[in-house]
Amino acid sequence: VLGLLCKWCSYSAADLAGTRHRKYPANIYIIQVPCSSWVDPLFILKALRMGFDGVLVSGCHPGDCHYQTGNYRARRRMSLTGKFLENLGVDPRRVKMSWISATEDYKFVEVVNEMVADLKDLGPNSMFADNGPRDAVET
């Protein structure tokens, strides 16, 4: 799982989860981003094409964005991205958005556990495997 986490909140929550020795699946690869609005839908598409089974985008709660309206824009963009990916045949459970504040380490653990469980049910991401629809996307 690729985790794109806002540095002001969700990334700190992940850090806090580590400091508090909370257990969560080790198969999340976290990248700190300046704000959830920084996440370009192409990053998500590229991650799925690279073989990540899912992408978690997480930012500050509505009203708490460090850049005031960034997370509202991210929410709209993620909604459209979800519909676009669904049209490509990607199960919507592979891409998730969540609001997690810096003190919600327990919520970060819950979200990651839930997402990993969903992805285990779905199985590996083969949507963009070499002889799959990826060729169709490129043409």
Residue 6 as a binder of ligand FES (CB under 6 A): the answer is yes
Phi (first) and psi of residue 30, to 5 degrees: -100, 135
Per CB under 6 A, which of residues 64..123 are in contact with ligand FES? 65-67, 70-71
Which residue number, 5 or 90, has a Cβ lying nearer to ligand FES?
Answer: 5
Nearest distance in Å: CB 67, ligand FES: 5
Place of tokens 């709209």: 76
108 membership: H or E segment, kind and range = helix 105-122
Please name every residue paired with 57 in a beta bridge, in sequence order, or none if there are none: 4, 97
Taking the C-alpha atoms of residue 122 and residue 89, their distance in angstroms, rounded to an integer, is: 13
Nearest distance in Å: CB 1, ligand FES: 19
Question: Which residues sit at the interface with ligand FES, rule CB under 6 A?
Answer: 6, 8-9, 35-37, 59-60, 65-67, 70-71
